[in-house]
Amino acid sequence: MMKRFSIFLVFLLSALAGPLTAGQLTVAPIRLQMGPTQPNATFTLTNGSNEDGFYQLQLFAWEQEKGETVLKQQHDLIITPPVTMIPGNSDQVVRVVRQRPTVSDKEKSYRLIISEVPDTESERGAQLKVLLRLSVPVFVGDKNQTHALTVTRQQNRFVIHNKGNGHARLVNAYWLDDKQQPRLIRKGLAGYVLPDSDLGFDYDPRDGQPTAISVTANGKKLTLPVEEE
């Protein structure tokens, strides 16, 4: 079964180092990195409201196809508990358990989807299907697995290619014109490029001739020349 990005699945991606927050729910850490033989890891969910919160947790394999997010069913990881009630102003630790620790030549990517579901015993709750959803990245791989980025220009669009075996988390992306003047693509978190995947951005050619992309990838600032495709 495959799930594609939709208006009901809100990917709240933050460039900040702090917890990920939606509504009254806070999740920490905002992304998780596990070693290939690491048996488990944890998230902390905090319900900041005064009322009890009911949550469903699901883990999907995360892929990118033509720059789009694709979520698929998987059996590598499980989340426990898969459903939880968190009292108001309280925390809940949830555990990601890797069922088959194996070494892979490429980092594996997943998404933890946290859905707040209504209290069906209340009249208002019975009329609602989902109150909010959070999506948190989970990566499983060796610390030496890393990205290898190149950039091509396809008409009025930049495409960032990752030919490496690890993901790239892109922050503060600019393109440079022929006078090396920076022009903003996206401030803050620009997105992720998974191994053997691409991520594209549109630009206005009236702003000049692009020569390079300036971006911070996994905390390191890079300048990538733009190649014609």
Distance CA 227, CA 229 (A): 6
CB 11 within 8 A of CB 69: yes
Closest CA to 183 of 219, 158, 150, 152: 158
pLDDT of residue 20: 64
Q: Are residues 58 and 156 in the same domain?
A: no
pLDDT value, residue 46: 95
The domain tally of the chain equals 2
Question: For residue 93, how many C-alpha atoms fall within 13 Å in the half-sphere facing its CB?
Answer: 5
pLDDT at 125: 45
| 126: three-class secondary structure by DSSP | helix
Whether the CB-CB separation of 62 and 71 falls below 8 Å is answered with yes
Final residue of a structural domain among 116, 140, 164:
140
Looking at the fold, whether 66 and 136 belong to one and the same domain comes out as: yes
For residue 198, what is the domain's CATH number?
2.60.40.3970
Q: Which structural domain, as residue segments, surrounds residue 195?
A: 149-228
Residues 105 and 174 in one domain: no
Query: CA 28 from chain center: how many Å?
Result: 14
Spans of the chain, pLDDT less than 70? 1-23, 119-131
9 with 48, same domain?
yes
Please indicate, yes or no, whether residues 17 and 104 belong to a single structural domain of this protein. Answer: yes
Question: Quick one: 181 and 211 in the same domain?
Answer: yes
| Last residue in a domain, options 140, 169, 195 | 140
Nearest by Cα to 86 from 59, 111, 54, 113: 54
Q: What pTM was computed for the model?
A: 0.86
Instruction: Tell me, yes or no, whether 40 and 129 share the same domain.
Output: yes
The Cα 169–Cα 189 span in angstroms is 8
User: Which CATH number does the domain housing residue 25 bear?
Assistant: 2.60.40.10
Domain co-membership, 41 together with 14: yes
DSSP label at 92?
A: E
Give yes or no: residues 129 and 200 share one domain: no
Looking at residue 21, its pLDDT comes to 60
